[in-house]
Structure formats: C-alpha cells, structure tokens
Copies of this chain bind each other. A is one copy, B any other.
C-alpha cells in the first residue's frame, strides 16, 4: 500500500478510476472512467459547495421518486439539458442531404393502423386540417418503394391520444402509410399545436429557476423505415411557431422546418416534406 493509493483532491478522479477491477467489461470501464473524470472536473471548476451538493442529492432523489409507469422524469431531465438530443445526434450522424433525426419522445405507439394514401388520421374533429405529402427517397433522389411512414401528433388541445385515453378516439392523429413505386406518401392530419412538457415536478422547478419555459413548438412526429435503409426518427416543425427558437427539449433543426402554406378548401393547410434515407 503506497501513499498514492489514497484520495487527494488533485488526483481524485484517478484514485476512483484506479479502483476498477481488471476483468470488467472494457466498454463499461471506458464509459465510467470518463464519467468520473468529467464529474470531478465539474466539481473542481465551480468549487462546488457542501450546500450545493446537498441540493443536488435532494434534486436527484425527488426526480427518481416522481417516476412511475406513466412518468419518466429522468428522461425529461435528459431532454431539457439537451442530453437526449446530443445522444441522438452522436448515434445518427448522416451525410449532408439526408433527413436529420430528432428526439423520439415518449408518445410513439407500436402498431398504429396501416392506412390508405390520402386518408385523414384526425378522428376527433378538432383542429385545422392539413395535407401532408412528399416522397421517400434515397440519397440519389430515387423513390423508395415499400417505405413505412409512421406518423403521430398531439390533437388540437395539445394532448396525444395516449394521454387522454377516455377522451380521444384510439389512434387519433396516428397512422402508418406504405409507399408505392413512386415513393410518395400523402395524408390529411391537423396543423400541429405547441404544448408544454410536464412541468409540475423537479424538472419544471429547474426550468423555472433557469428562467426557461417548458414549451415545445408545434411539430408532427415521423418514424420512417425501409428495408436496407437506416431508420429516420424525426419531426417536422411549423416555422412560424413562437417557441421554434426555444424548444424546451432542443429538438428543432433548421432542416426539419416544413413550409406550412394556407390553401383554399376543406383542408386549410398544406405541408410538403421529403424524407431522404441513407443505406445501411
């Protein structure tokens, strides 16, 4: 046992990381060593006080305790600190021209009905209807046949069907569309509306203390899959939304802003958006 094996302020992270066993999962060792280095560097950078440490312990504990089957406050924390978007970005780097990813969100439902091209996916009669259409293409601009365009959005009151199972029809504002040889998808939905993330818990209090609002700009979710291609998890956003530059979860990317254009007739709006997929 040498003196160096004990803890010192200067060598704190090294002391912790030196303790890891030799036979452990090498990837776990790599990730934990980096985490410890960054956590310790953070405390040193700001000279973290004992009171601040206690506040952090209390915040993390409350964040864990409010989690339930229906609520995941740690994901909300990750989202609001831009961490979810960062992990998504790291894992979905794509060449220029390919459709960018954004956060998946908690409201996707597997197995939404497969609908016919042009169908209306809004079943509660609320909201301003909007025609969505575009092409699913490869990077050379060739249409992809058999791509599944899975779409979901909140209703005009700002809630997803799964948040209001007793109020909204099942699969309201959801559906899957399978492209033909022309790669085209087309459906009628509503022009989406903005909504706040749940802000009555620790994360909401954190946002308030940081002078931030909890709102997400209006968006429509898409999950686009096709055999041989990388899946796309993304949104399209309304470029005129007041929260566009301040999405509480940092989901907005410039390339994902769709032109919502007013049109004449029963359908009030039209948004054209193509999806460009990368080969696996």
Which residues of A are in contact with B by a Cβ distance under 8 Å?
A: 1, 3, 5-9, 12-13, 15-16, 19-25, 28-32, 34-36, 38-50, 52-53, 57, 60-65, 67, 72, 74-75, 78, 81-91, 93, 209-212, 244-246, 250-254
* Known pairs A35-B42, A91-B49; A16 contacts B82 (CB<8 A): yes
- Counting every copy of the chain, the complex holds 2
Q: Which of A7, A25, A85, A251 has the most CB of B within 10 A?
A: A7
A50 CB → nearest B CB, Å: 5
CB of A33, distance to nearest CB on chain B (Å): 9
| Residues B90 and A6 in contact, CB atoms below 8 Å apart | no
A203 to chain B, nearest CB (A): 13
For this complex, 14 residue pairs linking A to B, each with C-beta atoms less than 8 Å apart, are: A5-B245, A9-B89, A24-B210, A25-B209, A28-B210, A30-B46, A31-B46, A34-B42, A34-B45, A34-B46, A38-B38, A50-B91, A60-B63, A61-B64
Known contacts A16-B250, A74-B57, A211 near B21 by CB under 8 Å: yes
In contact, B31 and A82 (Cβ under 8 angstroms) = no
A28-B245 contact in complex given A15-B250, A74-B60, A251-B7, C-beta closer than 8 Å: no
Asked whether A40 and B212 contact (CB < 8 A) given A48-B90, A72-B61, A89-B12, the answer is no
Distance in angstroms from A181 CB to nearest chain B CB is 33
A64-B61, A90-B44 are contacts. A211–B20 as well, Cβ < 8 Å?
Answer: yes
Please tell me if the beta carbons of A16 and B81 are within 8 angstroms of each other in the complex.
yes
Nearest Cβ on chain B to A64's Cβ, whole angstroms:
1
